Amino acid sequence: MLFRKDFFLLVINFVILLIPNILYFTQINWLLSEQLELFAISLIVLLVLLSLVKKAWIFLVLTLPFVLIVPLEAFYISNYHSFITPHILGIVFDSNSSEIRDFTQGNELKIFFIYVVLLTSWISGIVSCYKSNLIYNHFSRYLILLIFLPFIIYTASIHEPTFADYYVYGETKFEVQRNQLPDGFYRFEKAFPFGIFVTLYEFYQETQRFYQLLEHTKNFHFNASRQPLFEEKTKGKPEIYVLVIGESSRYDRWQLNGYSKPTTPYLAQRQDIVSYEKFYTVAKSSRESIPIMLTRKKADDKRFGFHEKSIIDAFNILDFKTHWLSTQMTFGEYDTPISIHAKEAQHLKYLNNGNFKTDNVYDEVLIKPFQQIVENIKQPEKHFIIIHTLGSHFNYAHRYPVEFDMFKPSLKNEVFNLHDIALVDKLRNSYDNSILYTDFILNELLNIMSNKKRCHKLVNLLI
C-alpha cells in the first residue's frame, strides 16, 4: 500500500497542508501544550474531512484552495511569527498594487516555482486518486468520525452568538452589531487550513463595524480656524506637529520621573522636554482611552464610538497634511475604535506585518518613515503626524530587541506562565527594558525634529 503512487501522493499533499502548523510548532516560542493542541486540531479536522468524503480525489479537490494559501502562511510564519490575521488582511486591502509589487520584488521567480511544484503535486494527486478510485474505508475512519466529529461540533457550538456595542450619535443611541462566531471556532483560528475561514469572517465583521461607524461621522467636520496673530507668526515657515501615542507605560517606571533604575537615560539628559506630573489616563484600555485623547468625547463616556471626528479632521480643515504611522493593529475588538480615527489621516501606514503576540516587529520601524516625512517637508507646508507605538504592550519581552535586554533576569526568549509568582522579578525587568527601548525610540524621533531647521514645530508625547 505504501508504494502505491496514489497513496503516496495523498500522503505528500496531506503533509503539505500541515506545513504552516509544523512551522508554527517549530518557530514560535509558545507553551508546548498550546503548540500540541494547535497541531492536533489541524490534524483532526483534516482527518475528519477525509473520513466524511471517503474518496481521496474529492478530498484533494476540496482542499486545493487552501494549497494556494500554504506559501503565504509559511512565509508569514517564517518571517513574522504569525498566521495571517484580520489585521494583515486589512494592510493588504489598504495597500495599492505598487506596494504589493515592492513587497514581492526579487522573489517573483521563486514564488512562481513554488506554485508550479504545489499545483503539479496536487493535480497529479487528484488524477492518480481518481483513476485508482482510492477510498478511505479502513475501520479507523469510523473511529475518527465517532470520536472527533462530535468533539468538533460541540467545540464549535459553545457560545452566546452575538453581542453589540452601543454608539452615540448626537442624542440617538444605536447598536453596532458584531455577530461573533461561537467561542469554540476561535480554537481553530490558528489551525491551518480551516482557521482561514475564521480569519476571513473576523475581517468581514470588523470591516462592517468599521464602516458603520464611519457612516455616522462622514458628514461631520470641525469649523476650525487659526488666530490671525499665530498665522502671521508662522507665515512662510513649515509647520510640524507630532503626537506620539504610547502603550501601557507607567509614570513611576521612568527614570525621568524619579525611578531608581536608569530606564530613560536619553530623555533624562535632554533639556527640551517637559514631563507632566499630573497626567492621568481615563481608562485602562487603549480602546477607550485613545478615542478620548483624540476627540471631544468626555472622560466619563465609556460607550463605543463618538459622533464627532478627531483632532485630525481639524488639521485637515486647516490644510495640513496629516499622517498616521502605527505598529499597532488595524482591526479587532480593541483596535477598530482607534482605526476609525486613523482613517481620517490623509496618509496612513501600518508597519506591523505580524501581530502583537510575538516579537516580529519593534517600534524602530517607525523611525525611517517619520524621518522621510520630516526631511521632505518644504516651505510653507504644514504637517500633523501621529505615531502610534507598541510601547510596553504585553508581552513586555517582545517589545524590545535583545541589545536592550539590560535589566536581568528577564523573560526575553523564554516561554512562561504569566501566573507563576516566581517570575515577578523577570516580569518587572522585562517591563523596565521595554521602557528603556521606548526612551531610545523617543530620543531618535526628537533628534529628527531637532535637526529640522527654520520651521515651527511641537512634539507631544502621550506615553
pLDDT the model gives residue 286: 80
pLDDT at 111 over 90: no
- The predicted pLDDT at position 24 comes to 81
| Claim to verify: residue 292 and residue 337 sit in the same structural domain | yes
What is the model's pLDDT at position 419? 66
Q: Which residue has the higher pLDDT, 259 or 162?
A: 259
Greatest mean pLDDT among 147-151, 156-160, 164-168, 223-227:
223-227
pLDDT at position 303, please?
Answer: 65
Helix (H) or strand (E) holding 175: strand 172-178
Q: Is the peptide bond before 20 cis (omega within 30 degrees of 0)?
A: no
Q: Are residues 179 and 322 in the same domain?
A: no
**pLDDT: is 428 or 78 the higher one?**
428
Same structural domain, 358 and 244: yes
Calculate mean pLDDT across residues 402-421.
Answer: 88
**139 in the same domain as 13:** yes
Residue 220 lies in a domain: no
d(CA 64, CA 130): 15
Instruction: Calculate mean pLDDT across residues 421-450.
Output: 95
Indicate if 307 and 191 belong to the same structural domain: no
The predicted model gives 147-176 an average pLDDT of 58
Q: Give residue 297's pLDDT.
A: 87
Q: Look at residue 178 and tell me whether its pLDDT is greater than 60.
A: no
Residue 41, CA atoms < 13 Å, CB-side half-sphere:
26
pTM for this structure?
0.69
Residue 260 falls within a domain, yes or no? Answer: yes
- Whether pLDDT at 179 is above 60: no
Q: What is the DSSP string of 362-373?
A: -GGGGHHHHHHH
Mean pLDDT of 254-262: 95
Is 17 domain-assigned?
Answer: yes
CA 72 → CA 88, 192, 330, distances in Å?
11, 12, 19
Same domain, 72 and 169: no
Nearest to 439 by CA among 261, 306, 222: 261
Is 290 found in the same domain as 197?
A: no
In the predicted model, what is the mean pLDDT of the chain?
Answer: 83
Q: Mark out the alpha helices in 297-397 (DSSP H runs).
A: 311-317, 336-342, 367-375
Domain boundary among 155, 188, 203: 155
Range of 76-80, 206-210, 311-315 with top mean pLDDT: 311-315
**Between 122 and 96, where is the model more confident?**
122
What's the average model confidence in pLDDT over 80-105? Answer: 67
Residue 221 lies in a domain: no
Task: Decide if pLDDT at 458 tops 80.
Answer: no
Q: Is residue 173 part of a domain?
A: yes
The more confident residue out of 163 and 74 is: 74
Domain identity same for 362 and 266: yes
Residue scoring higher pLDDT (211 or 261): 261
Give the residues across from 242 on adjacent strands.
385, 459
CA gap 368, 370 in Å, rounded: 5
Cα distances (angstroms) measured from residue 83 to each of 20, 73, 187 = 8, 6, 14
- The last residue of a domain, from among 189, 215, 241: 215
Domain annotation covers residue 91: no
pLDDT at position 104: 65
Most confident of 34-48, 298-312, 382-396: 382-396
b/e code 258-277 from CB counts within 10 Å (16+ = b): ebebebbebbbeeeeeeeee
Of 103-112, 165-174, 184-193, 329-338, give the lowest mean pLDDT range.
Answer: 165-174
* Domain shared by 370 and 455, yes or no: yes
Place of cell 480525489: 57
Q: What is the pLDDT of residue 302?
A: 64
- For residue 167, what pLDDT is reported? 47
Position 181 confidence tier, pLDDT thresholds 50, 70, 90: low
Share above pLDDT 70 across residues of the chain, in percent, rounded to a whole number: 83
Rounded average pLDDT over 298-310: 77
Q: So what's the pLDDT on residue 227? A: 84
- CATH number at 427 reads 3.40.720.10
Whether the bond between 395 and the residue before it is cis, its omega within 30 degrees of 0, is yes
30: pLDDT strictly greater than 60: yes
Q: Does the pLDDT of residue 197 top 50, yes or no?
A: yes
Q: Is residue 405 part of a domain?
A: yes
Q: Per-residue pLDDT tens for 207-257?
A: 777 777 777 788 888 988 888 877 777 777 889 999 999 999 999 999 999
Q: Are residues 251 and 202 in the same domain?
A: no
pLDDT at 86: 74
Average pLDDT over residues 94-98: 58
Q: Indicate if 314 and 334 belong to the same structural domain.
A: yes
Query: Of 139, 155, 171, which one is at a domain's C-terminal end?
Result: 155
Q: Which of 370, 435, 449 has its CA nearest to residue 397?
A: 435
Give whichever of 131-140, 295-304, 441-450 has the largest mean pLDDT. Answer: 441-450
Number of domains in the chain: 3
Give the range of the structural domain holding residue 195, as residue numbers without chain letter: 163-215
Give residue 404's pLDDT: 97
Q: How far apart are CA 303 and CA 331, in angstroms?
A: 18
Instruction: Report the distance separating Cα 434 and Cα 222, nearest Å.
Output: 37
pLDDT band per the 50, 70, 90 thresholds, residue 161: very low
Q: Are residues 169 and 272 in the same domain?
A: no
- Whether 265 maps to a domain, the answer reads yes
Q: Rounded to whole angstroms, what are the CA distances from 224 to 227, 315, 319?
A: 10, 8, 10
Q: Is the pLDDT of residue 279 over 50?
A: yes
Per-residue pLDDT tens over the stretch 321-376: 999 999 987 765 555 678 888 989 999 999 987 766 677 789 999 999 999 999 99
